[in-house]
Amino acid sequence: MALVVAMIGGPVPGPTASVVEYVAERLELKGHTTVRISPAELPPAALLAGDSGEPHIRGSIDILDQADGVVVATPIFQSSFSGLLKAFLDVLPPGALAGKVALPLANGGSRGHLLAVDYALRPVLTALGCGQVGQGAFVLDSEIVPHPCGVGLKGESEARVTQVCRRFADTLADAERRDALSR
């Protein structure tokens, strides 16, 4: 099955990391392998300097190179994605996401940020070369429910995220079938 890199564009632990965990669990149940990358855990000076040769950053880029798909999750601050995610995306070489299937996700405290996935995150992923940017989802922080053995969602967020996860997994499987037929 597909290798999926899940980028956590917010502090770890935190609501964004919880959303990524929820999505990763669903993708793993479909047979996909997920690897999490958290820019918050990368060396800040190298990240801000755009030092793509720094070993930890280079390792993250190498994992992305191997990935079939990316989940890009961010908290919404000032009506846009996090500066932490922006710093990581800026350090990526041109074409780092070329041809990959992407699932954009965002979380925040207000329904007023529902469109941030489409007007802030989707254009960036497209500009970075993602072959397909699937329908994303916005999750209200109040609908994230931590459990001792995982993370749950409630309300509209649960239905929305479950649906976009299913579509993303199906798109990954379709891409794998096309690749297998073209070999």
- Domain boundaries defined on the chain: 3-182
Owner of token pair 């990391």: 17
Q: What is the pLDDT of residue 12?
A: 84
182: confidence class by pLDDT, cuts 50, 70, 90? confident
Given a cut of 90, is residue 47 above it in pLDDT?
yes
pLDDT tens by residue, 109-158: 988 887 889 998 999 999 999 989 999 999 999 999 988 878 899 999 99
Cis peptide, bond prior to residue 13, ω within 30 of zero: yes
71: confidence class by pLDDT, cuts 50, 70, 90? very high
17 vs 66: CA distance, rounded Å: 22
Which CATH fold topology does 3-182 show? Rossmann fold (3.40.50)
Q: Are 29 and 162 in contact (CB under 8 A)?
A: no
Q: What is the pLDDT of residue 178?
A: 79
